[in-house]
């Protein structure tokens, strides 16, 4: 699927703004055909945004089930003779869409795009009604998983991940026009041979019999540096300007579909960063050079808009990453907005790209978030069907982000149960699938404390070890000396595996403004002392090639005795003010004293 673009042959129109919105607690909307006319009893809702925190009604905030969105769009009159497509960058966690009375598409998974050709259902120059039912329910057959429980007070949604189940239409929606004969996909794989860069491209097209493909590669000033013909081929660039961490240099590949008369019938622009990624022993190499990750696990999370995409927030978060000296981030715990990845591509920020497979671990949930009594892998819980949904989530993530130079590593799950036979069976094929889909990038998953060195049965499949550890927080709370010893001992065990190790989470909840002379948990001083202890350990273990603090900023979670207005492990507060630890990290990462 190619993302909507304005080119010489394509045009797009955003459908963002205020839509009509209604809850459907009795699940009657589909049966009663709510899509067949103006949505009754609707309130206004912003798109993109999570719906949860916009209104004051608790019934909306904690709602699960179907919600309905509706808008009207006037189809540009100049789009006659074009194919007209309706494109959603995401809808969390699943959606079905109608255009006027016709059902046009359904999609499972809250963080990847989907679209439908709606040409037969609209008329250029006229208005069309777009109705979407979004369902945010989580079950054992969804990614991430959850369960609806019957309680004396009614049904409740439980899940095993530590962030609020924000839902809605989180990202832009587009109506766009493309030609009947059109490009459907472009793949680029880059290589380096000394100072020469190579770009292997492949393209696919639809309804394009007899058409040929022409490609033109331009540098950042627009100068032509290579051309090619054919649906696939190799371009070479002498004295190539490499894409590198901190230097997000992009070439622009224009792909043209040309009919037998020589007319360009479709044109699409693919940005290309020429770089290589490899793992060698315990080193992670970008362009053949060892790379050390600094940065954070993050969240798409802001006051009011929840997980909704916003240009200003996105830019500000990247400004803070730059300020603190972060060279990388992990899209914990789901694929982030494409706009975020675009920025990372343009600015040389290195990305660990993660699926939404978080919380496949009912043991962990029992301990921290209060949902006990389930076995993780079983015919009734996480099962073969779940794995197929997970596989599809991996397919869609790789399809979406495969051409991004910023993405250097796939993380196919966060903290799943990984010390059992069931886990081994579940994950083996998913690693195989990811490698088949993308042989060019290392693959890993994020390991949890409950499956420490010597116990984990899934890390054998990973190219890179990603570890989340909370020595000095969830264990050895307040005892940084004991934590330091235990942590180093475990880490030295992992180091014997001769793989690069990235510490993908380490962090301590910190209430901004809370202080103590002796470092007490929850104080700003303790957060600094905790990070310092971790850094001493990392600096002593050669295999550690990355440190990503949990978390960039405080974020919203479900309520519970472990959380105070959300998770407070942020180095920045939720409104992006620095805690004292931010300055300490800045000194370490920017090597400033």
* Binding to ligand GCB, residues 161-190 (CB under 6 A): 162
Under the binding rule (CB under 6 A), the answer on residue 468 touching ligand GCB is yes
Q: Which of residues 226-265 bind ligand GCB (CB under 6 A)?
A: none
Residues within window 487-526 making contact with ligand GCB, judged by CB under 6 A: 505
Shortest Å distance, C-beta 278 to ligand GCB: 27
Contact in structure between 548 and 293 (CB atoms under 8 Å) = yes
Report how far Cα 293 is from the mean position of its chain's Cα atoms: 18
Quote the least distance from Cβ 352 to ligand GCB, whole Å: 13
Binding of residue 331 to ligand GCB (CB under 6 A): no
**CB of residue 418 to ligand GCB, shortest distance in Å:** 13
Report in angstroms the alpha-carbon separations of 222 from 39, 153, 251, 343. Answer: 48, 63, 9, 20
Residue 376 makes contact with ligand GCB by CB under 6 A:
no
Distance CA 378, CA 280 (A): 37
Q: For residue 209, what are the contacts with CB-CB under 8 A and spacing of at least 6?
A: none
Catalytic residue, from 505, 524, 525, 547: name it. Answer: 505
Q: Is 415 in the site for ligand GCB (CB under 6 A)?
A: yes
Contact flag: residue 414 with ligand GCB (CB under 6 A): yes
Of 79 and 550, which has the nearer Cβ to ligand GCB? 550
13 is written with which tokens? 């129109």
301 near ligand GCB, judged by CB under 6 A? no
Least separation in angstroms between CB 303 and ligand GCB: 18
Nearest residue relative to ligand GCB (C-beta)? 162
Q: Which of 459, 368, 344, 348 is nearest to 411 (CA)?
A: 459
Q: Which is nearest to 406 in space by CA: 339, 333, 328?
A: 328
Residues 6 or more apart whose CB falls under 8 angstroms from that of 181 comprise 205, 206, 207, 208, 211, 257, 259, 265, 266
**Cβ partners under 8 Å of residue 38, min gap 6:** 20, 70, 129
Asked if 569 is part of the footprint of ligand GCB (rule: CB under 6 A), the reply reads: yes
Q: Closer CB to ligand GCB, residue 8 or residue 559?
A: 559
Q: Quote the CA–CA distance of 548 and 487 in Å, as a whole number.
A: 16
Catalytic-residue membership of 127: no
Q: Which CB, 268 or 555, lies closer to ligand GCB? A: 555
DSSP characters over 77-137? GGGTTSEEEEEES--BSEEEEEETTEEEEEEE-SSS-EEEE-GGG--TTSEEEEEEEEE--
Nearer CB in complex with ligand GCB: 240/456: 456
User: Among 115, 338, 396, 415, which one carries the catalytic annotation?
Assistant: 415
Q: How far is the CB of 475 from ligand GCB (least distance, A)?
A: 12
42 in helix, strand or coil?
A: coil
Interatomic CA distance for residues 351 and 337, integer angstroms: 13
57: which residues sit within 8 A by CB, 6+ positions away? none
Among 110, 188, 567, 570, binds ligand GCB (CB under 6 A): 567
Q: How far apart are CA 265 and CA 178, in angstroms?
A: 10
User: Measured between alpha carbons, how far is 43 from 56 in angstroms, rounded to an integer?
Assistant: 12
Closer to ligand GCB by Cβ: residue 268 or 293: 293
Binding mask 536-565 for ligand GCB (x = CB under 6 A): --------------x---------------
**83-88 and 114-117 beta bridge pairing:** antiparallel
Q: How far is the CB of 557 from ligand GCB (least distance, A)?
A: 7
387-396 b/e (C-beta count within 10 Å ≥ 16 → b): bebbbebbeb
* Nearer residue to ligand GCB within complex by CB, 266 or 415: 415
**Shortest separation between residue 42's beta carbon and ligand GCB, angstroms:** 34
Residues touching ligand GCB: how many (CB under 6 A)?
9
* Residue among 538 and 552 whose Cβ is closer to ligand GCB: 552
Nearest to ligand GCB of 313, 563 (CB atom): 563
Rounded least distance, CB 581 to ligand GCB, Å: 15
3-state secondary structure of 205: strand
Give the H or E element holding residue 267. Answer: strand 264-272
Q: Is 445 in the site for ligand GCB (CB under 6 A)?
A: no
Measured from the CB of residue 556, what is the shortest distance to ligand GCB in angstroms? 11
Q: Minimum distance from CB of 507 to ligand GCB (Å)?
A: 6
Of 98 and 550, which CB lies nearer to ligand GCB in the complex structure?
Answer: 550
Cβ density class 220-258: b for 16+ within 10 Å, e for less: eeeeebbebeebeeebebeebbbbbbeebbbbebbbbbb
CB within 8 A of 571, min separation 6: which ones? 296, 324, 527, 549, 551, 552, 553, 578, 579, 581, 582, 585
CB of 334 to ligand GCB, least distance (A): 11
Asked if residue 333 has a cis previous peptide bond (ω within 30° of 0), the answer is: yes
Q: Is 270 in the site for ligand GCB (CB under 6 A)?
A: no
Cβ atoms of 503 and 547 closer than 8 Å: yes
By CB under 6 A, the residues from 136 to 165 that bind ligand GCB are 162
As to burial, measured by CB atoms within 10 angstroms (0-12 exposed, 13-18 middle, 19+ buried), residue 137 is middle
Please confirm, yes or no, whether 505 is among the known catalytic residues: yes
Please identify, using beta-carbon distances, which residue of 188 and 448 lies nearer to ligand GCB.
448
3-class secondary-structure state, position 289: strand
The set of catalytic residues is: 415, 505
The residue ranges that bind ligand GCB (CB under 6 A) are 162, 333, 414-415, 468, 505, 550, 567, 569
């Amino acid at each position: 699927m190619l993302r909507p673009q304005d080119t010489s042959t394509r045009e797009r129109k955003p459908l963002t703004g205020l839509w009509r919105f209604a809850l459907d607690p009795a699940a009657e909307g589909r049966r009663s055909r709510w899509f067949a006319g103006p949505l009754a009893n609707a309130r206004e809702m912003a798109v993109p945004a999570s719906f949860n925190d916009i209104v004051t009604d608790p019934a909306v905030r904690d709602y699960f089930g179907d919600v309905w969105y509706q808008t009207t769009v006037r189809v540009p009159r100049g789009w006659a003779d074009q194919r007209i497509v309706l494109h959603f960058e995401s809808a969390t966690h699943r959606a079905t869409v109608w255009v006027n009375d016709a059902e046009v598409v359904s999609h499972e998974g809250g963080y990847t795009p989907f679209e439908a050709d709606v040409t037969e259902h609209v008329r250029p120059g006229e208005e069309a009604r777009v109705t979407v039912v979004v369902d945010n329910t989580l079950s054992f057959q969804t990614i991430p998983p959850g369960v609806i429980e019957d309680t004396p007070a009614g049904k409740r949604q439980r899940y095993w991940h530590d962030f609020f189940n924000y839902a809605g239409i989180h990202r832009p929606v587009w109506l766009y026009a493309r030609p009947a004969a059109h490009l459907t996909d472009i793949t680029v794989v880059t290589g380096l041979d000394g100072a020469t860069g190579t770009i292997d491209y492949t393209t696919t097209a639809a309804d394009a019999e007899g058409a040929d493909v022409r490609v033109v590669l331009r540098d950042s000033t627009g100068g032509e540096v290579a051309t090619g013909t054919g649906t696939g081929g190799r371009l070479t660039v002498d004295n190539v300007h490499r894409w590198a961490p901190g230097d997000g240099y992009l070439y622009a590949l224009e792909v043209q579909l040309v009919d037998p008369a020589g007319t360009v019938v479709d044109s699409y622009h693919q940005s290309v960063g020429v770089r290589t990624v490899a793992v060698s022993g315990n080193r992670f190499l970008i362009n053949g050079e060892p790379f050390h990750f600094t940065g954070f696990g993050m969240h798409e999370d802001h006051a009011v808009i929840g997980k909704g995409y916003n240009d200003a927030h996105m830019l500000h978060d990247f400004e803070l990453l730059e300020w603190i000296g972060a060279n990388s981030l992990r899209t914990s715990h789901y694929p982030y907005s494409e706009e975020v990845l675009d920025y990372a591509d343009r600015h040389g920020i290195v990305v660990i790209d993660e699926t939404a497979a978080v919380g496949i671990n009912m043991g962990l949930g029992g301990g921290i978030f209060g949902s006990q009594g389930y076995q993780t892998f079983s015919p009734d819980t996480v099962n073969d069907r779940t794995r197929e949904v997970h596989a599809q989530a991996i397919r869609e993530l790789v399809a979406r982000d495969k051409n991004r130079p910023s993405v250097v590593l796939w993380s196919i799950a966060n903290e799943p149960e990984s010390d059992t036979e069931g886990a081994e069976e579940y994950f083996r094929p998913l690693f195989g699938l990811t490698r088949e889909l993308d042989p060019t990038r290392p693959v890993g998953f994020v390991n949890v404390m409950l499956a420490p060195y010597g116990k984990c049965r899934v890390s054998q499949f990973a190219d890179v070890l990603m570890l989340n550890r909370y020595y000095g927080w969830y264990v050895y709370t307040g005892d940084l000396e004991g934590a330091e010893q235990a942590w180093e001992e475990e880490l030295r065990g992992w180091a014997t595996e001769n793989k690069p190790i990235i510490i993908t989470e380490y962090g301590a909840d910190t209430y901004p403004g809370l202080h103590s002379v002796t470092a007490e948990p929850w104080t700003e001083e303790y957060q600094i002392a905790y990070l310092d202890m971790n850094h001493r350990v990392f600096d002593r273990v050669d295999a550690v090639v990355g440190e990503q603090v949990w978390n960039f900023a405080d974020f919203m979670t479900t309520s519970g005795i472990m959380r105070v207005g959300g998770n407070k492990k942020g180095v920045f507060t939720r409104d992006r003010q620095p805690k004292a630890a931010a300055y300490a990290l800045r000194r370490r990462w920017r090597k400033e004293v």
